[in-house]
Chain A
Amino acid sequence: MAAAAETSSDRTLRNAFGSVLSFFILLLIGVLAFSIRLFSVIKYESVIHEFDPYFNYRVTQFLTKNGIYDFWNWFDDRTWYPLGRVIGGTVYPGLTLTAGTLWRILNSLNIPLSVETVCVFTAPIFSAFASWATYLLTKEVKGAGAGLTAAVLLAMVPSYISRSVAGSYDNEAVAIFALIITFYLYIKTLNTGSLFYATLNAIAYFYMVCSWGGYTFIINLIPMHVLLCIVTGRYSSRLYIAYAPLVVLGTLLASLVPVVGFNAVLTSEHFASFLVFIIIHVVALVYYIKGILSAKMFKVAVTLVVSIGLVVCCAVIAVLIALVASSPTMGWSGRSLSLLDPTYASKYIPIIASVSEHQPPTWPSYFMDINVLAFLVPAGIIACFLPLSDASSFAILYIVTSVYFSGVMVRLMLVFAPAACIMSGIALSQAFDVFTRSIKFQLPGISGKSEFDAGDTSSSSVVAANDAAKPDKSEETLKERPSRKNKKKEKEQVEKASVEKASTKSKKEKRLLVLPLEASVIALLLLVFLGAFYVVHCVWAAAEAYSAPSIVLTSHSHDGLHVFDDFREAYAWLRHNTEVDDKVASWWDYGYQTTAMANRTVIVDNNTWNNTHIATVGTAMSSPEKAAWEIFNSLDVKYVLVVFGGLVGYPSDDINKFLWMVRIGGGVFPHIKEPDYLRDGQYRIDSQATPTMLNCLMYKLSYYRFVDVDGKGFDRVRQTEIGKKYIKLTHFEEVFTTHHWMVRIYKLKPPRNRIRGKTKKSKTKTSATSSSRKSVARKKNPWH
């Protein structure tokens, strides 16, 4: 009795201690997640990175200035001139609404942070939330220990850091948090069967739909899991409660978001959920009827239903297939199809294929992005099988599907990262458990207790006789679940061993359940080293690899740090030296930045929704000067912006992207043919380049006056001298070139006032005139 009382108070004390400790650990994990993403702010400045975040930033500015109704109905006439873009209906509002709300709350508390600051720091804040969500999710799957480990792994995993550094204000920053929370609520509903969590699950799913186009992953993964549970015979009414309200409420909520709208019921991406919805109803009905009928009657019912039902089913499926097959892409969107068939995009949609984020990843990038977790994931998968519960089967399905999709597109490594962290967390915590338990068993002075502990691990009746087993069993239920699972694992080891050994003496069993003390100590140390290696790699990746805001470039030279701020220089020039209504044409990469920073109307931007428009710009860039001038004039363009990296060695400039312009332009305008720009299949810009290449607008605008820099025109990126050195522009004039020649801006010349006659100008007469008059004549008549 006294022992029982002592153990119960011990128990509560240990519990209290454990929960306080885990609370502090979680707090620290949140701080870690936040601070590891601040490298870019420290090394550079608090600025928004890349291209897409600038668009989100501009939208957030509009939202904070004009309120939600104007934002919901916003028609943007400063992009995709002259088509305009209905922002309200084509943007995922989750991120901007979140940041806007945050800003409004902070401002109402009289903390006057600017919108830019809120936008820059939204991603780190939400990554802290995401790691807490991972803790919750893994706790549901395996237990609190695994949860803490998974949370700390997610806080630091480089793949997630790459898309959520301070300044990377993109959809994924918020979407990953929404993803994990949705999964957590689903698993929680599955485990408890409570409608309350089902409601919360639907709301979290709504938040996910608002945030990212990747929500289709959820709405396909969950039905897949439900199907898996049904097929493996794990159907229960909790499954029904978890799934059916989610489908109905989720579809409704998804249709509320304007971007998705009716796609929530009409596209093939959602059909899986409806199919499984029907299947789960059928299964539920079957179980219900099985419950109220006797066995014989049930068999009769089955035969009857099967014979009639099959006919009906086939008819319905035939109709459905006819409907779906009638559309050429079978109802899938282009991006989804390119996920399922990795070669689809390069054959049919060059725009999707040209985005660097959509390329398949290389093997080294796996190691770079998830590092040590790559080894722990298989161990975690095995741990999930012992024992298999609904939640752990979900985790296994999640990781298998995300591994496949991450192999198709680099961008989806991000979805793979949380799954890897969960699995690795489970594996690590299990391993730690085994080793610490081994050490605990074998330390002298605790051997008395260890008898009890060892006693209840075997489920044979020998132990049942041991009356010490009972309080231990109750004690066991209060301990963390991973330890119990661990014991089950040990039990299986024991059972295997006991096959060999006939003896069932408890002492012998006790010996076999643990690993030798030295081995476990060393193994523990090695695990700690593994963790340390992981931490070092993550911090290095965050600091060096993923913190660069691509708007500002740096290079280390012998006289210190050299900063290339050419982009902002060019946008500022545009902002201050052109009229408000002037239109700027450039390749679509720079559209968002131009509208956000230079505040000028652009022709195409990163949204890439209209392929023909982009192809028009691509054709203009690939055509000779006069044709290009005609095209740009018909679009009312005033300025053309070109990015050129040849002087400083910046590799992502327009000349390197030029072949994509040709391909995309050629996809719509057949007179642009890619082989015209290649010499023997090779892309060259030196003297061996084809005449079409040397005469196209992009070449001329990039290399105009380049030979004046060093006399030879040596392009540092392509590592050759350029082919055509002395370039004359007849329809464009250069208005601005940045400090390092990285951005060059040209203006379209207005049409000539008088059209000259055909007689050639005589040279002999003017030679008698003074040289000053000649130079005046040359300067004043630029069309010769």
Chain B
Amino acid sequence: MARSTSKDAQALFQSLRSAYVATPSSLKIIDLYVCFAVFTAIIQVVYMAVVGSFPFNSFLSGVLSCVGTAVLAVCLRIQVNKENKEFKDLPPERAFADFVLCNLVLHLVIMNFLG
């Protein structure tokens, strides 16, 4: 049972990897950006667990900026992905403009909340 699951797991990873390689590079850039954001968030959580949550507002703003960036990037990816049928008549420039606007609001709020 365990052997079959491990074999299945390996096969699974193989298929995942092969499917992923097929995605266009622009989407891969977005994915990289998302990973960077999530990674930074995890670092901050670990730091808070070690040091304690004293300037809690700074912690919140730091973590939420990372999470927010990740979420917005994922939204952009959804909108820009050509395989998504729901968004086929949405011009990518419009999607990008919305993304920029949302990020601006996010960072403005973060700056306010950080201090």
Q: How far is the CB of A288 from the nearest CB of chain B, in Å?
A: 9
Closest CB in chain B relative to A292 CB, distance in Å: 4
Residue of B71, B90, B101 near A248 (CB, 8 A) is: B71
Q: How far, in angstroms, from A301 to B9 measured CA to CA in the complex?
A: 7
Docked CA distance A575–B111 (Å): 45
State whether A196 touches B64 (Cβ < 8 A): no
- With A and B bound together, what is the CA distance between A195 and B94 in angstroms? 9
Q: Which of A233-258 contact B (CB under 8 A)?
A: 236-238, 240-241, 244-245, 248-249, 251-253, 255-256
B15: nearest residue on chain A (CB-CB)?
A297
Q: Are A249 and B106 in contact (CB under 8 A)?
A: yes
Asked if B43 CB lies within 8 Å of chain A CBs, one says no
Q: Which residues of B contact A245 (CB under 8 A)?
A: 68, 71-72, 75, 102
Which residues of chain A come closer than 8 Å to B61, judged between CB atoms?
252
Contact of B74 among A240, A297, A300 (CB under 8 A): A240
Cα(A245)–Cα(B101), bound, Å = 12
Q: Using a Cβ–Cβ cut-off of 8 Å, how many residues does chain B contribute to the interface with A?
A: 43
B78 contacts A297, C-beta separation under 8 Å: no
CB contacts under 8 Å to B, within A295-318, are 297, 300-301, 303-304
From A236, A265, A300, give the contact of B11 (CB < 8 A).
Answer: A300
Closest B residue by C-beta to A236: B86
Q: Which residue on chain B has the smallest CB distance to residue A284?
A: B74
Taking a contact as CB atoms under 8 Å apart, the answer to whether A256 and B113 are in contact is yes
Chain B residues lying within 8 Å of A256, measured Cβ to Cβ, are 109, 112-113
Decide if the interface of chain A is mainly helix, strand, loop or mixed: helix
Determine whether A294 belongs to the interface, using a CB cutoff of 8 Å to chain B. Answer: yes
B50 on the interface (CB 8 Å rule)?
Answer: no
- Which B residues are CB-close (under 8 A) to A195? 72, 75-76, 79, 95, 98-99, 101-102
A202 at the binding interface (Cβ < 8 Å): yes
Is B5 engaged at the interface, CB distance under 8 Å to the other chain? Answer: yes
Interface residue from A193, A198, A248 paired with B86 (Cβ < 8 Å) = A193
Q: Is the CB of A293 within 8 A of B98?
A: no
User: Within the complex, what minimum Cβ distance (angstroms) separates A223 from chain B?
Assistant: 15
Q: Given known contacts A195-B72, A199-B105, A252-B113, is B19 in contact with A237 (CB within 8 Å)?
A: no
The contact of B64 among A241, A252, A304, by CB within 8 Å, is A252
B56 cross-chain contacts in A, Cβ below 8 A: 262
Could you say which residues of chain A place their CB within 8 Å of the CB of B9? Answer: 300, 304
Q: Which of A241, A297, A303 contacts B79 (CB 8 A)?
A: A241
Q: Which residue of A lies closest to B81 (CB)?
A: A237
B57 engages A294 (CB within 8 Å): no
Interface set, chain B 1-24, CB cutoff 8 A to A = 5, 8-9, 11-12, 15-16, 19-20, 22-23
Considering the chains assembled together, what is the distance between the CA atoms of A236 and B85 in angstroms?
A: 11
Q: Which residues on A sit within 8 Å (CB–CB) of B99? A: 195
Closest residue on chain B to residue A195 by CB atoms: B98
Is B87's CB within 8 Å of the partner chain A? yes
Interface of B is mostly: helix
Chain A residues whose CB sits within 8 angstroms of the CB of B90 once the complex forms: 193-194
Q: Is A289 in contact with B105, judged by CB distance below 8 angstroms?
A: no
Name A297's contact: one of B12, B71, B94, B105 (CB within 8 Å). Answer: B12
Q: Which residues of B contact A328 (CB under 8 A)?
A: none
User: Is the beta-carbon distance between B71 and A244 smaller than 8 angstroms?
Assistant: yes
Chain B residues in 8 Å Cβ range of A517 = none
The answer to whether B83 has its CB under 8 Å from any CB of chain A is yes
Within 8 Å of chain A (Cβ to Cβ): is B45? no
Inter-chain CA distance A293–B75, complex, in Å, is 21
Minimum C-beta distance from B44 to chain A (A): 14
Known contacts A238-B86, A292-B20; A202/B68 CB under 8 A? no
Measured CB to CB, the nearest residue on chain B to A192 is B90
Chain A residues whose C-beta falls within 8 Å of the C-beta of B16 in the assembled complex? 289, 292-293, 297, 301
Query: Assuming A193-B79, A237-B84, A240-B74, is B106 touching A252 (CB within 8 A)?
Result: yes
Q: Shortest beta-carbon distance, A289 to chain B, in Å?
A: 7
Q: Is A203 positioned at the interface, with any CB of B under 8 Å from its CB?
A: yes
* Neighbouring B residues of A292 by C-beta, 8 Å: 16, 19-20, 22-23
Distance A245 CA – B73 CA, assembled complex (angstroms): 10
Is B30 part of the binding interface, using a Cβ–Cβ cutoff of 8 Å? no
Across-interface contacts of B60 in A (CB, < 8 A): 252, 255, 262, 265
* Binary contact track B52-70/A, C-beta < 8 Å → 1, others 0: 0000110011001001100
Would you list which residues of chain A between 152 and 197 have a CB under 8 Å from chain B? 193-196
* Chain A hits for B79, CB < 8 A: 193, 195, 241
A184 to B12, CA, bound (A): 43
Residue of B22, B78, B84, B101 touching A196 (CB-CB under 8 A): B101
A238: B residues at CB distance < 8 A = 86
Residues of B within 8 A of A301 (CB): 12, 16
A residues in contact with B101, CB < 8 Å: 195-196, 199
Does A444 count as interface, using CB distance less than 8 angstroms?
no
A279 to B112, CA, bound (A): 29
Which residues of the partner chain B approach A304 to less than 8 Å between Cβ atoms? 5, 8-9, 12
Contacts of B109 in A (CB 8 A): 249, 252-253, 256
Nearest chain B CB to A3 CB, angstrom units: 29
Cross-chain contact A255 with B15 (CB below 8 angstroms)? no
Distance in angstroms between the alpha carbons of A262 and B99 in the assembled complex: 27
A670 CB-CB contact with B under 8 Å: no
Complexed CA–CA distance, A251 and B56 (Å): 14
Q: Is A291 an interface residue (CB 8 A)?
A: yes
11 example contacts (A-B, Cβ-Cβ < 8 A) are as follows A193-B87, A198-B75, A198-B102, A199-B98, A199-B102, A202-B105, A237-B84, A244-B75, A245-B72, A252-B113, A297-B11
* Other A-B pairs beyond A195-B75, A256-B109, A300-B9, 6, CB < 8 Å: A199-B105, A202-B105, A236-B86, A237-B84, A241-B78, A292-B22
**Chain B contacts to A: CB under 8 angstroms:** 5, 8-9, 11-12, 15-16, 19-20, 22-23, 56-57, 60-61, 64, 67-68, 71-72, 74-76, 78-79, 83-84, 86-87, 90, 94-95, 97-99, 101-102, 105-106, 109-110, 112-113
Q: Which residues of A contact B (CB under 8 A)?
A: 193-196, 198-199, 202-203, 236-238, 240-241, 244-245, 248-249, 251-253, 255-256, 262, 265, 284, 289, 291-294, 297, 300-301, 303-304
Q: Which 5 A-B pairs have the closest CB atoms?
A: A195-B98, A292-B19, A248-B68, A196-B98, A300-B8
